[in-house]
Amino acid sequence: MAETSGIIGHETVVKGNISGSGDVIVQGRLEGTVSLKDELTIEEQGKVFADVEVHNLSVHGEMSGDIAAVDKVTIAANAKVVGDIKAPRVVIEDGARFKGSIEMDVKLPEDI
């Protein structure tokens, strides 16, 4: 886990593009695009309306947009996600709401 670069607070709305390294935590609202070398965490009160490219994504709130993760996407039991996911590991906890497609880079024996 990298050093936390920023927290978007409960009453904060950010519209635009976020890029760089370091972890970002969203407790408020984020609209635009996100490109991070590290982790994006959307807290229970957080709402993200963005296409996201990150190392890891953890959703506990709401997310709408396409997701590309280098390592893992985790959707918590109380989360709501709408969008397509591309990641080698995807965890969707029981009770989570998800609408979209999931593409995992899986090599089948005939592909090796």
The pLDDT tens digits for 13-46 are 999 999 999 999 999 999 999 999 999 999 999 9
Does residue 1 have a pLDDT over 80?
no
* DSSP character string of 8-53: E-TT-EEEEEEEESSEEEESSEEEEEEEESSEEEE-TT-EEEEEEE
Q: Does any domain span residue 74?
A: yes
Contact 25, 9 (CB under 8 A): no
Q: Total structural domains in the chain?
A: 1
pTM: predicted TM-score of the whole model, two decimal places: 0.89
Q: Give a yes or no: residue 110 inside a domain.
A: no
**C-alpha–C-alpha distance, residues 74 and 78, integer Å:** 12
Rounded average pLDDT over 48-69: 97
Domain membership of residue 47 as a residue range: 4-97
| Residue 5: predicted pLDDT | 75
Please give the pLDDT value at position 109: 65
The rounded distance, in Å, linking the Cα atoms of 75 and 83 is: 12
